[in-house]
Structure 1
Amino acid sequence: MLSASFLYGQKGKEANYARFVDSANFYIDDSSAKALSFLDSIPKPLEKTISGRLADYYNIMALAYDYEGEYVHVYQSYILALKYGEKEKNYLIAGNACLELFANIYFAKRDTLAYVYLEKAEKYYKLDNYANGLLEIEQMRAYVKFLDGDYKASNALILTHLDAYRKVEDDAYFHVFAMYMLTANYIELGDFKNAYASFKELKSLKDNPTIVKYNYFSFEVAINLSLAQVYFSKKQLDSTEYYLSKSTKHRNFMGEGVIKDYLALNSEVYKYYGNIEQSKVYLDSLMLFEKKMFNNMVDASIQLNTPLMHAESELESERNKKYWNGFLAVFLFCMLSFLSIFYIIYYRKQKFKQKHFKDKVSDFSYLRSTNEKLTGKIHGLEEYIGSLKKDIKEISTVNDVSSQREKIKELYKELHINSSTLLDKSESHLELVNDLNIQFFNQIHKKYPQLNDSEVITCYYLFMGFKNKEIALFLNTSIRALESKRYRISKKIDYDFDKNDTTLVKHLKKTFKNTQVQ
């Protein structure tokens, strides 16, 4: 192979290094190493030596690294292919790079940001008028549904464009890939009639020259293994062995996921037959394979860590946009939540103030009413005292001792009778104490509205700790009558004092313990 220095010596500054890109493209399918050698022979800086072909350069580089299994470099190369595809207006390469980046990101990390690349791929394919590229995007959407286990949705997308896939004569991969997904979907859905029909159509494409053999056999072996798994689950061992043997013939074409299923199924089949030793052989192989895959995954993760931080710069603007949109949404949500909470708190405060104001108004009205009654009562007392003074003055003018004595007796009798009405048994007492203990009377009226005023004032005296004898004197009644009243109060309150081992007095003190009284 000609070296870059030789070519440069032959042609000097006018050397056409773009031919190295064409040579790498020519050998890419047969030898990725040779393709990489051509690309590595191009001197730096590439912006000068292959100006206008950098998109092609990095696209071929990505394909070569893909064959070599250097997935970190694949990702980086497609990022650069997209960058220069946009710069050079090579929309075909830009669309292809976006599609590959979508696959790399979504299938590896299930990152929904990958859809940014899928949308870009569609945009670039439309700019390039590349119909096959648009079909490939539709297949990719169906494949996403297939991998996510939404088999009905996957089939619906495939069947919508199936005729278009069949008509792509220069690349039958569209057709064979569509039939593979249809067959696999029908198997998962238990529709074996359509599964076998789709599989038959897939196998009819075996000798199509536009299909890479590796791709065809990788699809066929995956379907054969799926059928073997289905028949083993039904314990139809003849069919299981038939499709398992077909899978074994093309084991070299198995992907990583298919190899894992293949080893696991063989282990289960031998275990079912009682051949534990052979089952263990496949089980050990499976464990070694999974360990290898795990190590590869860890190594890839370590290798990807630093490059991804730099290579994903093309997504930065989209991520920033989504971040700020998300931030704005969260900010607005928080603001609305804050305003809602503030309004609720403010509303509750206003309701509390309103209730407090109403209580004050009620208390004021109650005081005013009580004050008016007391004023009337005092006025009556003043008149009564004035009348007594007048009577006493008249008695003092009586000269006859016996007549004067009779007058005094009558006055005493009248005082004795009227004294029971000066402060009557209910309302007047309530008036006298209400103005000092509004809180207690308001609370007991709310708690026990069934009690009348006389019973309420009795509860007040009991709550204050007065004894029956004292309360009877205050209310100008007998102790027996007071005890009867206490019994009626207990019944009206409807509280089981015996069950709760308490008394009316204890119950009142416990119920109104936070009430301030005077």
Structure 2
Amino acid sequence: MVKVFNSVKNSFLFFILLLLSNLSVCRAQNNEIKKIDELLQKSENSFRNLNDLDQLRYAKQANVLARKINNSQRITESYFSMARSLSFLEMQKESFIYISKASEQPYSKKSTLIQAQLKDIKVYNYYHLGLHTQAKKELTDIVNLLKDDKSKKAILLLQKTYLVIGLYKTDSARYYAQLCFNKLKQLPEKEVYLELSDLYRGLGTQFLKNNKDSSFYYFNKSLEVNKKYHHPVLLLDYIAFGDYYSEQKEYKEAISYYQKAIQNIKEQSATPELSANNDLYKKISDLYGKTGEKQKQAEYEQIYFGLQKKLISERTKNINYALHIILNDKQDQYKDSERRDNMYILIGTGILLIMAFLGYKLLRKNSEKKIPDTETADVSQENNPILYNKTPEIDELQITANPAYHEVMELAKNNDASFYFRFQEAYPEFQKKLLEYNPGLRVSELTFCAYLFLGFNTKDIAKYTFKSVHTIRNRKQNIRKKFNIQSDQDAEFWLINLIKTKKNS
């Protein structure tokens, strides 16, 4: 009886410990979900305040946590935010990559809303790539996906879609504008005032050429609704009024509103499309030219040209930052995969050990004979050298850069967006030496030189970068001119010798 009691007691204690353990795991997972949701909200707030780099940064942090607990919904949502931020950073190719990652998630396959949201980013990407037919198809798909969805996010996306369709179908613009109003009326104004503002501005722009009173009315409605809810980013309204007064030839008033837009950008650290701020200086310069104020025209024109130079640097900086995040994402995914593989190996090893133990016990039971121990022998493996059809200089670089060399080669063959970023990490002296020789080299030219440096021939580069052989030959010829390479010299060998010489000097 005592034995039975002890057995029941032990079973009960084990059950309690198991229950407490499960509660602890659930609580920890709930805390992780809370952190992820906070990061996703920060990412969304950054998007609404036109801060695309912060949007990307917060989304990436959320994605790392979501992958750790394998939460498909939040993995999908974080990929969506990353794709959207990359799209606005003018990195359409990278944006499409994360759209694809999000689409592959189980949550995405069953959620028509997230499918529509991903298509919305595609519309923006296709528009900026000049692929208007494809953009229109995505717009139609969004309408079909959301026509029966009554959720807030679906309503907001659907009204935005109608607005864009109206821009494409100018003859039916008022009809689609009314559809937008009808959708927004279904929600409290406080929750949709930004969307109302966009709609009013869009209508004001449509009337700008033909009906100045209606245009002013809608621009004013947009500004009023933003001020009503104390939205700090008013630059789009100020630009709209600047365009209005410029159209009415009231140049002083137009200049005043453009200057307000510039001030608002500085105060809010907003990042509209990279060229928007520069265009404002160009508009002001042109207007001062029309008012005959040549000195101020020249002053703003000089600022404009200076900013254009900075724009290239800023674009490069933003792209490098974004690529850094993408590269870290690839490394995190590799670590996750490695962790899973190690877990499978441990589980497999454990199962084999248990089976071996049970088999041993069974044989021991059925036979009194000794089972001789199986001796294990170490097998030595020779490391055969891998021969590459490359110059001795490249062999030397391969050894010094190993294992990064193989990774860089794979990135190059896959035409991966992070190829040049990773190449710079592997060969930090490369860009420095080339720019010392020719400071005017663009990023695309440096990337092309990296392919040559790694020993890729013309056909290989054409194949891996999806360009024609003729195009690659032209680019190689341009490189020869930039470096003044003689016609009897091989461009690849000349480049390698340049880097080697610079390195040894």
Task: Please give the TM-score of this superposition, normalised by the length of structure 1.
Answer: 0.46
Higher Cα Rg, which structure: 1
Q: Which has the higher contact order (CA 8 A, sep 6+)?
A: 2
- TM-score using structure 2 length: 0.47
